[in-house]
């Protein structure tokens, strides 16, 4: 059940990166249900097309632009922006959901892997946002939500690359928020703990392997360790992102909103 009006974002253009992943996928659906024109991007165009079909099946009047891209590549990012603006005009709502895990314990971490994780999780969000910022400033409106992680607030074993990239993303979020709010553009981040996505399940599996547990055993441990009794769903995170994009969140600026079932209290 949606708590949002179907016309909240009418006339606005939203760009969702990482729309082929669970969080981005659900966020794109939510934005369409709230009236936004949506550009979706990711590396798997078949998944993007499935997402578009699902949106149009549920909301026949929705406007969805599919723009497949590898955001790690500068020319792909430029083509993405051009496709988005040609389809629906300037972007005023930006959700950076694309990201990757990677790395390992320090003695096994290579420079190549470190740079790959930092590039996609930290550098790319900055460069893409920078490309879209001018039009937001000219129109004096915008909202940006970066999908960070609980790992951007505390360290984990083997997390030098991934955790470092999310700490950096949170730092960018705060710094950019201070600059952007002067132009009526709000910038925030969400910091989920484990989420029931492929990336989240892979993380639970890896953690289980370190402790000699199966995936099912480790998932049970993770669920039972949370006050809420369960890890988050993609919809949990998407709903928070959608709220942060609305004017109802107009005094939430530069925050890192934790979505973890109360894990920090345990």
Distance CA 148, CA 138 (A): 27
pLDDT of residue 265: 82
Angstrom CA distances, 222 to 3, 162, 250, stand at 28, 20, 34
Residues β-bridged to residue 232: 195
Distance CA 238, CA 46 (A): 22
Distance CA 95, CA 36 (A): 13
Distance CA 129, CA 127 (A): 5
- What percentage of the chain reaches a pLDDT higher than 70? 99
> What is the mean pLDDT of the segment spanning 69-88?
97
> What b/e sequence results for 121-148 when a residue is b if at least 16 CB atoms lie within 10 Å of its CB, and e otherwise?
bbbbbbebbeebbebbbeeebbbbbbbb
Residue 160 near residue 109 (C-beta atoms within 8 A): yes
pLDDT at 1 over 70: no
pLDDT tens for 120-152 read 999 999 999 999 999 999 999 999 999 999 999
* Continuous segment of H or E residues that includes residue 178: helix 160-180
pLDDT tens for 180-218 read 999 999 999 999 999 999 888 888 898 888 899 999 999
Domains and CATH numbers, the chain: 13-194+234-259 (3.40.50.720), 196-231 (no CATH)
pLDDT at 249 over 60: yes
Q: Active-site residue numbers?
A: 162
How many helices (H) and strands (E) the chain has is answered by 9, 7
Task: Spell out the alpha helix ranges (H) of 71-123.
Answer: 74-88, 111-118
**Taking Cα atoms as reference points, which of 132, 57, 31 lies closest to residue 89?**
132
Residue 13 near residue 88 (C-beta atoms within 8 A): yes
pLDDT of residue 116: 96
């Amino acid at each position: 059940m949606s708590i949002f009006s179907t016309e909240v974002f009418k006339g606005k253009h939203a760009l969702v990166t990482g729309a082929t992943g669970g969080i981005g996928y659900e966020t794109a659906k939510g934005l369409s249900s709230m009236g936004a024109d949506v550009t979706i991007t990711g590396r798997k165009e078949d998944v993007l097309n499935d997402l578009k079909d699902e949106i149009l099946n549920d909301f026949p009047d929705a406007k969805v632009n599919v723009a497949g891209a590898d955001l790690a590549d500068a020319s792909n990012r430029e083509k993405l922006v051009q496709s988005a603006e040609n389809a629906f005009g300037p972007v005023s709502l930006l959700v950076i959901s694309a990201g990757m895990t990677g790395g390992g314990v320090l003695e096994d971490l290579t420079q190549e892997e470190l740079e790959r994780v930092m590039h996609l999780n930290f550098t790319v969000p900055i460069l893409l946002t920078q490309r879209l910022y001018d039009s937001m400033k000219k129109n004096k409106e915008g909202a940006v939500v970066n999908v960070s992680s609980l790992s951007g607030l505390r360290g984990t074993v083997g997390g030098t690359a991934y955790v470092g990239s999310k700490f950096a993303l949170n730092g960018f979020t705060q710094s950019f928020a201070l600059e952007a709010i002067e132009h009526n553009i709000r910038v925030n981040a969400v910091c989920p703990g484990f989420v029931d996505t492929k990336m989240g399940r892979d993380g639970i599996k890896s953690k289980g392997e370190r402790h000699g547990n199966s995936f099912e055993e480790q998932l049970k441990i993770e669920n039972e360790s949370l006050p809420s009794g369960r890890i988050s769903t993609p919809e949990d995170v998407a709903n928070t992102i959608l709220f942060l994009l609305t004017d109802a969140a107009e005094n939430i600026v530069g925050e890192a909103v934790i979505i973890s079932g109360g894990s920090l209290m345990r």
